[in-house]
Amino acid sequence: MFYHLGRYVLFLIRVIGRPQKHRVFFTQIVREIDKLGINSLGIVVIISAFMGAVVTLQTAYNIDMPFIPRYTIGLAARDSILLEFSSTIVCLILAGKVGSNIASEIGTMRVTEQIDAIDIMGINSAGYLVLPKVVAMVFITPILVLISMGIGIAGGYMSGSLSGEVSPAEYIYGIQYAFRPFYIVYSLIKAVVFAFIISSVSAYWGYYTSGGALEVGRASTRAVVTSSIIILLFNLLLTQLLLA
Amino acid sequence: MIEVINLSKSFDGKKILKDVSTVFNKGQTNLIIGKSGSGKTVLLKSIVGLHTIEKGDVVYNGNSFVSMGSNEVRLLRQDMGMLFQGSALFDSSTVEENVRFPLDMLTNSSMEERRDRANFCLDRVNLTNVNHLYPSEISGGMQKRVAIARAIALNPKYLFCDEPNSGLDPKTSIVIDELIRELTQEYNMTTIINTHDMNSVMGIGDKIVFINGGVKQWEGSKEDIFNVENEALEDFIFASELFREVRAFNRKK
C-alpha cells in the first residue's frame, strides 16, 4: 500500500506541472468535460430521479404516525438528497463509469506504447493526458451534483404526489423547512474532492498498467474499487470535519 | 553519433543487458539484431531513456545522458523521433492530427504552417488523401508510414525504430526499410533500428550489432556478417531456409 501511495504522490507531482501548450490544454479540458461530464448526464438524471422517488416513499412509509407532520417527508428527503445521495452516491456511480473509462483509456495507451511515444517527444505525458481530465472532472462534477439535487427533489415530489403519500403543498413546505444553505456548500466541497479522487486515482492505475488487454481490464477494476473505497473514507472524514 | 558505454539493465533482479558498449554513427542505418527476448528492445529503450539506465552511460554527440537534468533530457528528446513496433498512433486522432501532434505541442508556428509541414511529411512517406482517416481505417504498412511521418515532423537528429517490419508483408517491409534509409541520408540522422529480419540486415544494414542473451557478441557490416565464426550469430542468420541455401550455394562455388 505504501508503495502505491508513494508512487501516487510522485505521479501527482508530474501531473500538476505547467501545461506544455495552454491552447492545447484548454481544448483538451473542453473535450474532457464533454466526454466525462456531459456524457454522464443521462445516468446522473436517471439515478437521481429514482433515488429521490424511493427516498421519499421510504420516508413516507416509515413515519406513518399521526403526530409526525407530513411535511417531514419532504424535509427528510431533501436532507438525504442534499447531504448524501447527490454527492456520495452520484460520485460512486461516476467512479464506476468515468473511473473505468479513464483507467482503460490511459491503460490502453500505455500498453500500445502511445504514452512512450509522447514521452519520447519530450512532452510530459502524465501532465498532457491526466491534468485536463482532473480539471474537467473537478469543474463538471459539482455541476452534475447540483443537477442531481434538483432532479432528486423533483423525483421525490413526483413519487410523493402520485402515490398520494404526501401532498404537493406539504412536500414543498418540507423541502423549504429549516433549510441550511451550507448543506449545498458541504455537498459541493465533497463533489470537488471526490472528482479529484476519481480522476487522479483512475489515471494512476491506467498510467502504470503493464502487459496487455487483461492488465488493462484489471487496472480498470482496480481504479473503480480503489476510488470507491477512498471516496467512502473521505466522505467520513469530510462529514466529521464540516458538519460536526 | 551515439555512444553506448557499458550499459547494463536488470528487471526484478534478472540481468537483461550486460555491459553493452558500441557506437552508432551519424548518417548510417545502425541495426541491432538478435533473437526475440535477446534484449534488443530493452537496449533501444534504455538508449532513448524510456528505461532508466542502471549502469553505464549513453553519450549523445558528446553529452552524457546520465548526467543530464530533466530540462536537458526534454530538449534532447525534441531531437528524437521514434517508430514503435505497433506504430503507437493515437487512436482518437486522425492521420493528420497524429503527424501534427509534435508540431502542435512543441512549436509556435501557425496552424497553416503546421498543416503544411504535416502534409509535407505525409507526402514524403508517399501517403496522400489519408489526412482525415483514423489509424484504424488504414493498413498496417500505412500506419508505419504515418508513424515515420510523425517521427520526422520536427527534423530529428536521431531516429529510433523498434521492429519497423513486424506484421508487414515482405514487399511492404522493403518499402519501409528503403524509406528509413532514404530519410536517414536525407536528414543526416543517426538511425538505430531493432530488427530480427535478415532482409533488413542485408538491405539497409550499414552497421550491425548482434545481441545475444543481453550481451553484445558481434558488430560489423553486412559484408562481414557471413564470414563470422560465432555459433549464436550463425544460428540466427541461417535460421531461414533461404539463407541456408545461399550458404550451401556459395560453398559449392
Q: Going residue by residue through chain A, which has 244 residues, state the pLDDT in tens, using 9 for 90 and above.
A: 888 899 999 999 999 888 878 888 999 999 999 999 999 999 999 999 999 999 999 998 888 777 888 888 999 999 999 999 999 999 999 999 999 999 999 999 999 999 999 999 989 999 999 999 999 999 999 999 999 999 999 999 999 999 888 899 999 999 999 889 999 999 999 999 999 999 999 999 999 999 889 999 999 999 999 999 999 999 999 999 988 7
**In terms of Cα–Cα distance, which of B31, B26, B27, B35 is closest to B44?**
B31
Residue B242 has pLDDT above 80, yes or no: no
Instruction: Please tell me the least confidently modeled range out of A92-106, B201-215, B222-236.
Output: B222-236
Residue B246 has pLDDT above 80, yes or no: no
Q: Which pLDDT does position B225 carry in this prediction?
A: 79
Q: What is the ipTM of this complex?
A: 0.87
Q: Which pLDDT does position A102 carry in this prediction?
A: 96
Check CB contact under 8 Å for A122 and B88.
Answer: no
Cell of A113: 506504447
**In terms of Cα–Cα distance, which of A227, A192, A234, A189 is closest to A98?**
A227
Q: Which pLDDT does position B1 carry in this prediction?
A: 87
Q: Which pLDDT does position A66 carry in this prediction?
A: 78
Alpha carbon distance, N-terminus to C-terminus of chain B: 40
Q: With contacts defined as CB-CB under 8 Å, which chain A residues touch B102?
A: 121
Check CB contact under 8 Å for B85 and A21.
Answer: no
Q: Rounded CA gap, B13 and A236, in Å?
A: 42
Q: Rounded CA gap, A27 and A20, in Å?
A: 13
N residues, chain A: 244
pLDDT digits (tens, 9 = 90+) for B160-193: 999 888 878 888 888 888 889 988 998 899 999 9
Q: Which pLDDT does position B137 carry in this prediction?
A: 94
Q: With contacts defined as CB-CB under 8 Å, which chain A residues touch B80?
A: 120-122
Check CB contact under 8 Å for A128 and B105.
Answer: yes
**B94: confidence class by pLDDT, cuts 50, 70, 90:** very high
**B71: confidence class by pLDDT, cuts 50, 70, 90:** confident
Mean pLDDT of B4-20: 90
Q: Which pLDDT does position A98 carry in this prediction?
A: 95
Q: Rounded CA gap, A159 and A166, in Å?
A: 9
Check CB contact under 8 Å for A116 and B84.
Answer: yes
Q: Which of residues 103-142 of A touch B (CB under 8 A)?
A: 108-109, 112-114, 116-117, 119-123, 128
A210 Cα to chain B: minimum distance (Å): 13
Q: Is A68 helix (H, G, I), strand (E, B) or coil?
A: coil
Residue B198 has pLDDT above 80, yes or no: yes
Please report how many Cα atoms fall inside a 13 Å half-sphere around the Cα of residue A224, on the Cβ side.
14
Q: With contacts defined as CB-CB under 8 Å, which chain B residues touch A119?
A: 50, 77
Mean pLDDT of chain B: 88
Q: With contacts defined as CB-CB under 8 Å, which chain B residues touch A112?
A: 86, 88, 91
Q: Which pLDDT does position A139 carry in this prediction?
A: 96
Residue B111 has pLDDT above 80, yes or no: yes
Q: Rounded CA gap, B205 and A239, in Å?
A: 67
**A182-207 vs A213-243: helix crossing angle, rounded to 10:** 160
Alpha carbon distance, N-terminus to C-terminus of chain A: 30
**B117: confidence class by pLDDT, cuts 50, 70, 90:** very high
Check CB contact under 8 Å for A123 and B105.
Answer: yes
Check CB contact under 8 Å for A112 and B88.
Answer: yes
Per the CB < 8 A criterion, the answer to whether B178 and B203 are in contact is yes
Query: Which residue of B97, B105, B144 is the best one to mutate when testing the A interface, meaning the one whose CB has the most A CBs within 10 A?
Result: B105
Mean pLDDT of B189-207: 88
Of B82, B91, B105, nearest to A120 by CB-CB distance is B82
**In terms of Cα–Cα distance, which of B149, B93, B97, B103 is closest to B123?**
B149
Q: Locate the domains of chain A by residue range.
A: 2-243
Q: Rounded CA gap, A55 and B171, in Å?
A: 67
Mean pLDDT of B67-72: 88
pLDDT digits (tens, 9 = 90+) for B147-157: 999 999 998 99
Of A21, A108, A121, nearest to B78 by CB-CB distance is A121
Q: Rounded CA gap, B193 and B177, in Å?
A: 10
